[in-house]
Structure 1
Amino acid sequence: MKIFEAHPVVPVVVLDDESRAADLGRALVGGGLPIAEVTLRTPGALAAIATMARNRDLLVGAGTVLTPEQATAAAEAGARFAVCPGLSRAVVERCGMLGLPVLPGVATATEVLAAREIGLKAVKFFPAETSGGAPAVAALAAVFGDMRFVPTGGITAANAGDYLALPSVLAVGGSWMVPRSADLDRIQELIGGVRAVIAAAGR
């Protein structure tokens, strides 16, 4: 939880070309967002994680971790946390063995209960907007007062503040500041706007 308490907005990065990883990492650090979740959706994702992990000022994690083997590969590449779209006990247990903080995804009360039963205190709420948005997070938090949430999926500069205003929300994850096809100048411009979102939410 300390990772996300310190970083209320987490850029979710999809890199088709791992050669962009170093420059993107520097742009995130320079813009005051020294964290990235690099999704394992592309062939070069692990190489990108390894490149970004060499930047000591950047906290890089692996997203879309679906299997224990991917968790191991991510840790070996230098990832310092793992994020999953759903709740897999096998992945959570492997991350525990690796000493890798893990944030599995949930979308229902049943899944939150299952996460609590295996000792988790924070989960990803995904896909956030299509699963009820901020009101759904508030409703789950009313029942599970000891659980913290990191909503991801459909989060934008326009709605991030709705989530960050909730005490149960540790952080939000989004890709609006790191569009897949945008050039570095545009990304730097968007990163700058994230600071305003964070400040407006009082984080």
Structure 2
Amino acid sequence: MNIETKQQQVEATMRLAAVIPVVIIDDAKHAVPMARALVAGGIPAIEVTLRTPAALDAIRAIAAEVEGAVVGVGTVLTAKDLHAAEQAGARFAVSPGTSPKLLDAAEDSALPLLPGIATASEAMNLLERGYRHLKFFPAVPAGGAKLLGAWASPLPQIRFCPTGGISLQNAADFLGLSNVLCVGGSWLTPADRLQRGDWAGIEQLAREAALLKGVVA
């Protein structure tokens, strides 16, 4: 599968909803009810980060059991991460930054990659390799909506998913930009709600986030 086909798949995932939840999951048994709550609330694309030992089992369970979910893997740092996530059933991968080895591995993998950048130079380097859809991370500390908006004119080919420091309160600042298709955020699956199994509460957070689709430029 060539880079352009994979970029089209990334774009389709980014357009599913205004928000891609960034999930840190400590107990894989929470994965399926959490994902069902998100899908029921109108948020089908879910990024499960590789920050806990339960992550791959969570991805495997969501991929196998949750109809309508498009489960991806986050915090991908190495070729090994990419391969393990693909084997677990992930449909897309997200990295906080990039390295030559990771990009080489992504070219050999069927798993579409949404690579992270924090500067215009990094964005230009990825554009040279065929990447038109990028993660802007950490969005708020790196310059926020003002910086991302300033890139729209000199880098018109690129569309972003800003992540890092984004909440329901400031998401619209990013989603109103012409070069933003969606945002990533951890506020939809807070640790306390996961721990106590508050799936109705997570579904409500998802419903609120899904309404942001009307803000997307």
1:1-203 matches, cutoff 5 A: 1-54=11-64, 55-182=66-193, 183-199=198-214, 201-202=215-216
Deviations 1:92-120 (A, max 9, x none): 22222221110111011111111112111
Write out per-residue CA displacement over residues 130-166 of structure 1, whole angstroms, 9 at most, x where no aligned residue. 1111111111222111111110001100111111111
Q: List, as ranges, runs of 4+ consecutive aligned residues in structure 1 with deviation greater than 3 Å.
A: none
Is the 1:161–1:198 contact (alpha carbons within 8 Å) kept by the matching residues of 2? no
**TM-score between the two structures when normalised by the length of structure 1:** 0.95
Distance across 1 between alignment mates of 2:118 and 2:71: 24
Cα separation, 2, equivalents of 1:79 and 1:27? 19
Q: Find the residue that maps to 1:136 and give its secondary structure.
A: helix
Q: 2:100, 2:166 → 1: CA distance?
A: 26
**Residues of 1 paired with 2:106 and 2:37: CA distance?**
29
Distance 1:162 1:23 in 2: 31
Note the C-alpha offset of 1:202. 4.9
2:18–2:212 CA contact under 8 A, matched in 1 = no
Structure 1 contact 88–104 (Cα < 8 Å) conserved: no
Gap runs ≥5 in structure 2: 1-10
The 1:136–1:154 alpha-carbon spacing in structure 2 relative to 1, beyond 3 Å, is same
Larger RCO, structures 1/2 (Cα 8 Å, 6+ apart): 2
Displacement of 1:65 after TM fit? 0.2
Q: Which residue of 1 aligns with 2:5?
A: none
CA-based RMSD: 1.3
Q: CA deviation at 1:29?
A: 1.2
Measure, in 2, the Cα distance between the counterparts of 1:122 and 1:166: 15
Aligned residues: 202
* Percent identity between the two aligned chains: 44
Counterparts in 2 of 1:101 and 1:159: CA distance versus 1, 3 Å: same
In structure 2, C-alpha distance between the alignment counterparts of 1:59 and 1:92, rounded to whole Å: 22
Which consecutive unaligned segments of at least 5 residues does structure 1 have? Answer: none
Equivalents in 2 of 1:117, 1:41: separation in Å?
30
Report the Cα distance in structure 2 between the residues aligned to 1:198 and 1:91, rounded to whole angstroms: 31
1:141 is paired with a residue whose SS is coil
